């Protein structure tokens, strides 16, 4: 995933933001900048590698700012091929092995502080959080709870009916209910002009792009959340005590989500530009997932193979070996 500019949503941060975050948390020596250095990100990464040597003896209050700093470090984009990006991901992976990022209350406070620190340095754009959730989920299974909570936070920002008082795993039925109560704004020009394409193009371009990007991020967040909960290998989390119902999509919820996706697809603007095409593809992909879940019953993650299987106790005649294999698409806004 590469940083992109889409209207008011951009992915990435600057070295200055890393420095500001370090100064806020008394970490300047670990994020110092060498005057004239050609690779500032490499320098900061090396400094954090030294910092982690004593992590086993840390108090938990010391963990929060470093998590935020390392996450911010992932978002810095350098010119040309960023050969150090894998090193930065490895650094975060190493950090997650030493801290508790799985226990629900720990996860809540980690996400709470992460969002506060990102807001303080003006890096809490929704596109940034979507990108970060993707990176955390790929980094380690221990980063998956943080990723899932960031995705629910993104959904909360766009769905007024979705209330979050604690950053934690939630049942997908909450998403269905929130979408049915207050569907997101659809970027379309609603006029009496018979020429729909003309009326669409007459709308303020900047405002329209912002609305389209906002909806696209919502759809991408939903798609990635489905991928993590229904397609991901979640054995470790279940063994750690996470209830299995977090990794299911019931038939009633699937029916509600499918109906919403159909209605949304009918209201979208014509796919006559790149953003509109991405919106259309995203809605089609979600509709396909919801349709199959709706037809086959409640879904359960087959954690050993990353496939989606039937789990519907109400359907006595259901063949136990019937399976639905869905191929999730990669994120498309980045």
Each residue's pLDDT, cut to its tens digit, for the chain (334 residues) gives 333 334 345 678 887 888 888 888 877 655 555 444 456 666 666 776 666 666 666 777 778 888 898 898 888 876 544 556 677 788 888 888 888 899 999 999 999 999 999 999 999 999 999 999 999 999 889 999 999 999 999 999 999 999 999 999 999 999 999 999 999 988 865 544 444 444 445 447 788 888 899 999 999 999 999 999 998 889 999 999 999 999 999 999 999 999 999 999 999 988 888 999 999 999 999 999 999 888 876 555 544 444 444 344 434 333 333 333 333 333 333 3
The CA–CA distances, whole Å, from 62 to 32, 57, 70, 182 equal 18, 10, 13, 40
**pTM of the shown model:** 0.81
Tens of pLDDT, residue by residue over 24-33, are 887 765 555 5
Q: To 10 degrees, the CA torsion angle through 308, 135, 4, 28? A: 160
Q: CA–CA separation, 88 vs 90, rounded Å?
A: 5
- Strands, E assignment, 126-184: none
- Residue pair 297/310 in contact by the 8 Å Cβ criterion: yes
- Cross-strand pairs, 303: none
Question: Residue 269's Cα: distance from chain center in Å?
Answer: 25
- Tens-place pLDDT, residues 50-90: 666 666 667 777 788 888 988 988 888 765 445 566 777 88
User: What is the C-alpha separation between 91 and 155, in angstroms, rounded?
Assistant: 28
Q: Characterize the bridge pairing of strands 9-10 and 248-249.
A: unpaired
């Amino acid at each position: 995933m590469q940083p992109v500019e889409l209207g008011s949503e951009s992915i990435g941060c600057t070295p200055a933001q890393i420095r500001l975050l370090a100064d806020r948390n008394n970490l300047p020596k670990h994020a110092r900048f060498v005057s004239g250095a050609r690779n500032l990100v490499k320098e900061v990464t090396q400094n954090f590698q030294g910092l982690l040597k004593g992590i086993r003896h840390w108090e938990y209050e010391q963990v929060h700012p470093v998590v935020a700093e390392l996450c911010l470090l992932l978002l810095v984009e350098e010119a040309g091929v960023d050969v150090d990006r894998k090193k930065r991901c490895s650094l975060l992976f190493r950090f997650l092995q030493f801290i508790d990022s799985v226990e629900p209350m720990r996860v809540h406070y980690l996400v709470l502080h992460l969002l506060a620190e990102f807001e303080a340095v003006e890096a809490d754009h929704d596109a940034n959080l979507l990108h970060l959730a993707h990176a955390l989920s790929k980094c380690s299974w221990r980063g998956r709870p943080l990723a899932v909570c960031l995705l629910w936070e993104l959904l909360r920002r766009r769905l007024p009916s979705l209330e979050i008082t604690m950053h934690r795993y939630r049942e997908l039925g909450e998403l269905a209910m929130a979408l049915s109560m207050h569907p997101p704004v659809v970027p379309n020009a609603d006029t009496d002009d018979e020429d729909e394409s003309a009326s669409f193009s007459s709308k303020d371009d900047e405002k329209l792009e912002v609305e389209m990007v906002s909806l696209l991020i919502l759809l991408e967040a939903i798609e990635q959340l489905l991928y993590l909960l229904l397609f991901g290998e979640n054995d470790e989390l279940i063994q750690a005590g996470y209830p299995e119902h977090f990794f299911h999509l019931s038939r009633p919820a699937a029916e509600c989500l499918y109906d919403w996706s159909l209605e949304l697809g009918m209201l979208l603007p014509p796919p006559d530009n790149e953003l509109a095409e991405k919106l259309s593809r995203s809605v089609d992909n979600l509709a396909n997932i919801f349709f199959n879940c709706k037809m086959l019953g409640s879904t359960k993650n087959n954690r050993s193979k990353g496939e989606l299987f039937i789990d519907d106790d109400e359907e006595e005649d259901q063949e136990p070996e019937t399976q639905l294999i869905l191929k999730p698409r990669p994120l498309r806004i980045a």
